[in-house]
């Protein structure tokens, strides 16, 4: 069955450093992969989408890479701030019109001031 793996341990970094989160998938060939941010008690918020024919995507301080050979996506936040502290979820998506996603369990990021 399809499996999405994200580091279950929290990532604790100093303000100003770059945070790198990993998402690995198996038994799956997604057409695209999305990253979401979730704050406690809230619904996830969409951040970035990267398609299978794209290697890298950037948005302000965020960067996502997508390696279909390694079956891995990396999510980077540069110049991290305490306000970036949240849980980040990766979600690969398929090729049909349902646009349904399979979510990873998320990685919690803590940015220390």
Per-residue DSSP letter, 12: E
Closest contact distance (angstroms) between CB of 71 and other proteins is 18
3-state secondary structure of 15: coil
The 3-class SS string of 41-80 reads CCCCEEEEEEECCCCEEEECCEEEEEECCCCEEEEEECCC
Interacting span for other proteins (CB under 8 A) from 19-27, 57-65, 66-74, 92-100 = 92-100
Under rule CB under 8 A, residue 28 binds other proteins: no
Binding mask 33-62 for other proteins (x = CB under 8 A): -x------xxxxxx--x-------------
Instruction: Give the contacts of 92 (CB within 8 A, at least 6 positions apart).
Output: 4, 25, 28, 30, 32, 33, 34, 101, 102
Q: Site for other proteins (CB under 8 A): which residue of 11, 13, 74, 102?
A: 102
Interacting residue ranges for other proteins, rule: CB under 8 A: 4, 32, 34, 41-46, 49, 89, 93, 97-106
């Amino acid at each position: 069955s399809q499996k999405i793996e994200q580091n279950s341990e929290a990532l604790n970094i100093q303000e100003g450093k770059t945070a790198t989160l990993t998402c690995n998938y198996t038994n799956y060939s997604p057409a695209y992969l999305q990253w979401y941010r979730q704050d406690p008690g809230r619904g996830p918020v969409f951040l970035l989408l990267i398609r299978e024919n794209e290697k890298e995507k950037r948005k302000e301080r965020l960067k996502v890479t997508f390696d279909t050979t390694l079956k891995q996506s990396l999510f980077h936040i540069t110049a991290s701030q305490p306000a970036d502290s949240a849980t980040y979820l990766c979600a690969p998506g398929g090729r049909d019109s349902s646009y349904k996603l399979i979510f990873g369990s998320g990685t919690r990021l803590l940015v220390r001031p």
